[in-house]
Structure 1
């Protein structure tokens, strides 16, 4: 199968790191095709960034229509553009936050999220509510690590995340940790060994869930609100993103 992996920010090193992590867990017959928007922020650390990232996700899904991916994974914990992507393809589309919450709820009665900037905690909390995991998610904790600082992934960064995770496990009485950024994917194995609890990397679980849905022949419903976008002219810089009339 061909899996389209979209990093919604425009950091090429992060896209490469996420793709490497995804390929490491993917089945041998899964080809990971990693991409990023042609425009938008280098990192996503707030609502303003997310607005442009969502448009970039829609751009990449529309471009991929020419070859037709079997599944799509959005590798940003805010799941920007998830609903738009589901409108734009009949393939299953998974956001890493939604996938991670589902996986964590299967492994522990309660989980905590450890993310990057404290200012983005409210975004994760709203996703928890939107996806219906209020009773399983016991806390969202920021480390104030900038997203692009994760590209180095040195001991200092790992130590900060480990410290926040240990505090979360104790304070929240949680049984699992969800990593709240796609840039943390390379740290998951180390943190699992150190913490001794399930540490969920949304990229990895989204890839495996996507493979399962594709293998079962399941795709995004085109009935109702996920129906194909209406043909429409877009103007200005978004002109190429307008949906064409069916032939």
Structure 2
């Protein structure tokens, strides 16, 4: 089985880290293909960033379909383009926010999300509501660390650890969910420091896709997620090679 893990931002070093985290939970029969879009923002920290990243994500999905990829992970905690990706893909497509929240709900009564910048909080709360996780999500806490600085700020791990301790106490939660794919490599270390389960969405989504594929399951195509009809596009988008754009 081949699973494509898509980092929606264009920071190559983060894509490599995400791929390594996905590979660490892949079984012997699972091939992990970690990619990022050919165009788009270096990090996703706003609604505009997410909107501009989606065409590049969808292009990687469409390419994967042509190459025989079996399933996909959207490796950004905003789950950008998730529903549109399901329209393009025959196999399962799982976002790391949904996968992480659902996994956390199996491990405790309540979970706390620790994320990057303050402006991400509202969107994550909205996702928890959309996924039916609002009762289990006890709080969303921002470290104030920009996404790309998770790799460069020597204090990043300490800040995430400190805020996780605050979140567990304030929310009376049982589990920490890491609210950014760039935090994926922190999970095992944090769990050891905190003494509680720490869920990384990259690992959770990868194993979820693998489990669905093992059951022979893919995206339902009878209704909303049927393959969209190709349409002509005008303007600058027409100059970008997007496989679903009509010639």
Q: So what's the TM-score if we normalise by structure 2?
A: 0.96
User: 1:153 Cα shift?
Assistant: 6.6
Match of 2:201 in 1: 202
SS at match of 1:112: strand
User: 1:244 Cα shift?
Assistant: 6.1
**Equivalent residue runs for 1:49-198 within 5 Å:** 49-152=49-152, 154=154, 156-198=155-197
* Inter-partner Cα distance in structure 1 for 2:244 and 2:147: 33
Deviation string for 1:68-89 (max 9, x for gaps)? 2111001000000000100001
Please tell me whether the aligned partners of residues 99 and 202 of structure 1 are also in contact (alpha carbons under 8 angstroms). Answer: yes
Match of 1:215 in 2: 214
* Inter-partner Cα distance in structure 2 for 1:124 and 1:36: 22
Please tell me whether the aligned partners of residues 46 and 119 of structure 2 are also in contact (alpha carbons under 8 angstroms). Answer: yes
User: 1:34 Cα shift?
Assistant: 1.0
5+ residue gaps, structure 2: none
User: 1:62 Cα shift?
Assistant: 1.1
Please tell me whether the aligned partners of residues 6 and 73 of structure 2 are also in contact (alpha carbons under 8 angstroms). Answer: yes
RMSD of aligned C-alpha atoms?
A: 1.2
Please tell me whether the aligned partners of residues 62 and 243 of structure 2 are also in contact (alpha carbons under 8 angstroms). Answer: no
User: 1:241 Cα shift?
Assistant: 2.0
Match of 1:243 in 2: 244
Structure 1 window deviating more from structure 2 (138-147 vs 232-241): it is 232-241
* Inter-partner Cα distance in structure 1 for 2:106 and 2:6: 26
Match of 2:12 in 1: 12
Match of 1:44 in 2: 44
Deviation string for 1:67-117 (max 9, x for gaps)? 121110010000000001000011100000000010000000000000000
* Inter-partner Cα distance in structure 2 for 1:74 and 1:140: 20
User: 1:238 Cα shift?
Assistant: 2.5
Please tell me whether the aligned partners of residues 114 and 178 of structure 1 are also in contact (alpha carbons under 8 angstroms). Answer: yes
* Inter-partner Cα distance in structure 2 for 1:153 and 1:98: 27
* Inter-partner Cα distance in structure 2 for 1:38 and 1:235: 20
User: 1:242 Cα shift?
Assistant: 5.5
* Inter-partner Cα distance in structure 1 for 2:20 and 2:140: 27
* Inter-partner Cα distance in structure 1 for 2:26 and 2:94: 15
User: 1:175 Cα shift?
Assistant: 0.3
